Amino acid sequence: MGITKQQAAANREAIVSAADGLFRERGVEAVGLNELMGAAGLTRGGFYNHFASKDALVDAVLATAMAIGSGNLDRAITASRARGSDPFTERIDWYLSPEHRADIEHGCPNASFAGDARRLDPAARTHYAKGLAENLDRLAQIVDTPELSEGERRARAIALFSEMVGALLLSRAVADADPALADEILESARTDLHNRRGTQPGGAS
């Protein structure tokens, strides 16, 4: 007996969700179909009912992850403004926190897929680039520096976010081998970013 459309959609979502977490944690190439279908609670034989190839799954994962990341950023900005806090300052504090460092499976996809992006197929690379561009556009809008032109605010946002991603990735890289160094990287980057923006942790200016 066949499955319903609703169950088929749920199965597809389960595959994408399992693949997202595994790809972030292990890298796309390191994850095989047997493992990811097992993580989704399904058998390998059902994979091709949903995706023509692993590349097609990767495309779906990147499209979904980048869209969710953009939505999460929008909600964080709205919440910061509702509290009367500076959204960019709060973003720095969250992004360079031990909690975000540990949450590889659910954290910022711009960082999680940075190492894999250039090796993916063209469609997946396009999803990544589009998501990154949208992220930078949003950050440029919350660079609270009235004297800067639109182009200068975008350049500032790119520079600040690049430091955030770089610090996060380096801290993750040494978190197990040298936890003290991993914390030092996060703290040093947070301090530098706040100094460059003239802000203090916690959203104060």
| Fold topology of 53-197 | Tetracycline Repressor; domain 2 (1.10.357)
What pLDDT digit, counting tens, does each position of 155-202 carry?
999 999 999 999 999 999 999 999 999 999 999 999 999 998 877 776
Q: Which of these, 94, 127, 171, 99, lies nearest to 28 by C-alpha position?
A: 127
Task: Report d(CA 132, CA 138) in Å as an integer.
Answer: 10
pLDDT digits 0-9 by tens, 11-55: 999 999 999 999 999 999 999 999 999 999 998 888 999 999 999
- Tokens representing 192 are 């530098």
Length of the chain: 205
The CATH number given to 1-51 is 1.10.10.60
Q: Give residue 21's Cα distance to chain centre.
A: 11
Task: Give the chain's largest Cα–Cα span.
Answer: 66
Domain ranges of the chain: 1-51, 53-197
Instruction: List Cβ neighbours of 198 (8 Å cut-off, separation of 6 or more).
Output: 205
Q: Say whether 53-197 and 1-51 share the same fold.
A: no
- In angstroms, rounded to a whole number, what is the distance separating the alpha carbons of residues 46 and 33? 10
